[in-house]
Copies of this chain bind each other. A is one copy, B any other.
Amino acid sequence: MRATVDFLVFDWLRAGELCARERYADHSRETFQQVLDTCERVAAERFAPANRACDVEEPHVDAEGRVVLPASTAAAVKAYFETGMQAASQDAEHGGLQLPCVVEMAGNAFFSKASVGCGGYTLLTSGNASLILAHGTPKQREVFAARELTGQWMGTMCLSEPAIGSSLGDLTSRAELDDTNDPLGPRYRLKGSKMWISAGEHELSENIVHLVLAKVPKPDGSLPEGSGGISLFIVPKWQVDEHGALTGVRNGVSLVGLNHKLGWRGTSNCLLNFGESAPAIGYRVGAEGQGLACMFHMMNEARIGVGLSASMLAMAGYEASLAYAKDRTQGRPVGQRGGAPVPIAQHADVKRMLLAQKAIAEGALALNLYCAALVDAQRSGTPEQKADATALLGLLIPVAKSWPSQWGLEANSLAIQVLGGAGYTRDWPLEQYWRDNRLNMIHEGTHGIQGLDLLLRKASQPQALQLLAARVNDTVQAALQDPAMADWANQLAAGLALVGKATKAAWASGDPAQAAVHGTPYLQGFGHLVLAWTWLDLLRHTPSGHPLHAGHRAACAYFFAYELPLAQAWLAPVLAGQSLLAALDPEVL
């Protein structure tokens, strides 16, 4: 994978050029390479060996109520913190490495490939700290975020509740004002239950910083309706003084139970009660009613991160099944009788399954890193670059999250299939990758919600669509110059036109409720177009002498021959204005 990462980061996305910008002036291509070297090495040495244990030794609660994890998980997390990656993209003034997001994501890719279960703790802590740095007071940054950036404390995101699922506006956790003058911020007492809290309880760090969404009651004691009434609070597991010293008092955050999951078992996942047996002290971050806006500040990075996990699970499965297929001999080419069995990588259908995995894993990684580069443009580009990057990211984030989640899962299924019965056993890692990857269509905005986000919010903005179309057209025009790519360029142009038509068709009524019916099929068609564009653009940046050229060419050929036609099929009901689902009465099911 390293050669692919290097190509994507340095040749395709030209991260080296970022060093000309003030924010990254202390860096060079060499320091970026060193970061990737470190990540690749630590991931291989500490994360990969811990991946099976974190699955089979699932987190459990001991007699003292502590959540027990394998020692190898703790060692992996510690090794991660020692790399400094926890503060990779943060400002130097906060102790960060001030790396571009694209280098941070590329580095984290190695950890995700080695063990998503071990990586859950650090990714959540990183997101938590970023949010406090962006929206917290100087004191909150100093006390909470700074300790998270070193790994002394860790963090969570507490959004959902047992009764509400994705419908955050209905949350019922309440925060009653206690004292507006606490040095750590306006102080509240929280009461409520929070569900699906990853890394919600463990003994990996001396404290856990929960970021909790709750509502401040109105004067009559009722909670404000809808998402506009949501505020955000820092609720530490252990209470702290204004200097961040632990007071020894346990805050009112209690573990109700662990969720026993299909996969991704290495990361504990909890139901937590706040303010049940003792008061749960929380400090508001940002203004009252701005909780959701604050929480979603880091949403782009979080969703790229989920997509990256999915891409890397796909990559892990691809590498393992490719190695197996080159090694395992069985059967002979069709039509050949006698002779020695050949490696199964020579059978056409096995080649199909391997090439599909390559196209998915590498294509998805490329898209994730492309989005990370857009985050960098938002952070350090010219005003025009910032505006363009924001518009493009809006459109691409639902794809960067959902496409790897859906097709990375399919890639893992193909990896199992390459191994046959062996792939179905726990003697090989493929089945774990597949189980782990199944989460990615669910968390951080379900697949259906990504479709609604794309179609109802993002694709309803003509300017953003035009911007993306211009970028796709750049690739088309460049590829048309090369006879070896011209057919694909024409197919890509036709696909772009089709997505444009589908967008108009979905919105034909102007009514979001009618458009909503098309969310997921539209997302899938749109996503395959984006990946076809990605592959053609990758190929045109891989000169024929490049060591990756033949592989990129095969993956691009595969994508245009076998995958892009599916976009047309998914968009067919959108283009036809199919009203079946809108009209369907669930009682006939």
Contacts and interface: CB of A to CB of B under 8 A. Distances in A.
Contacts of A581: 348, 351-352, 355
A95 interface: no
Chain A binding surface SS class: helix
Contacts of A358: 589
A572 B330 CA distance: 30
Nearest to A517: B348
Interface string A39-81: 0000000000000000000000000000000000000000000
Given A351-B584, A558-B580, A565-B568, A512 B334 contact: yes
Nearest to A353: B448
Nearest to A550: B588
A421 interface: yes
Contact of A446 (B196, B334, B417): B417
* A332, A441, A448: residue with the most chain B Cβ atoms closer than 10 Å: A448
A390 interface: no
Interface in A544-565: 550-551, 554, 557-558, 561-562, 565
A223 to B, nearest CB: 13
Interface in A122-161: 160
Given A417-B446, A586-B346, A338 B225 contact: yes
Given A573-B561, A580-B561, A330 B166 contact: yes
Interface residues of A, number: 97
Contacts of A447: 417
A351 B579 CA distance: 12
Nearest to A358: B589
Copies of this chain assembled into the complex: 2
A331 B513 CA distance: 14
Interface string A370-389: 00000000000000000000
Contacts of A438: 413, 416, 424, 431, 434
A482 to B, nearest CB: 18
A426 interface: yes
Interface string A384-403: 00000000000000000000
B572 A561 contact: yes
Contact of A355 (B346, B347, B521, B584): B584
Nearest to A586: B345
Contact of A262 (B260, B351, B431): B431
Interface string A296-338: 0000000000000000000000000010011010111111011
A30 interface: no
Contacts of A417: 441-442, 446-448
Given A164-B330, A588-B554, A259 B425 contact: yes
A332 B452 CA distance: 14
Contact of A335 (B345, B513, B576): B513
Contact of A578 (B165, B334, B561): B561
Interface string A154-188: 00000010001111001000000000000000000
A439 interface: yes
Contacts of A337: 226
Contacts of A516: 334, 348-349
Contacts of A196: 421
Contacts of A568: 565, 568-569
A104 to B, nearest CB: 28
A136 B416 CA distance: 37
A242 to B, nearest CB: 37
Contact of A167 (B330, B335, B434): B330
A577 to B, nearest CB: 11
A451 interface: yes
Contact of A421 (B165, B409, B557, B576): B165
A261 interface: yes
Contacts of A160: 421
A527 interface: no
A442 B512 CA distance: 43
Contacts of A576: 561
A519 interface: yes
The 3 closest A-B pairs by CB, nearest first: A565-B569, A349-B448, A345-B586
7 contacts: A165-B330, A262-B424, A262-B425, A345-B589, A352-B520, A413-B438, A420-B446
Given A335-B513, A348-B516, 14 more contacts: A166-B420, A196-B421, A348-B519, A349-B448, A351-B589, A355-B589, A413-B438, A417-B447, A420-B446, A421-B442, A424-B442, A434-B438, A568-B568, A569-B569
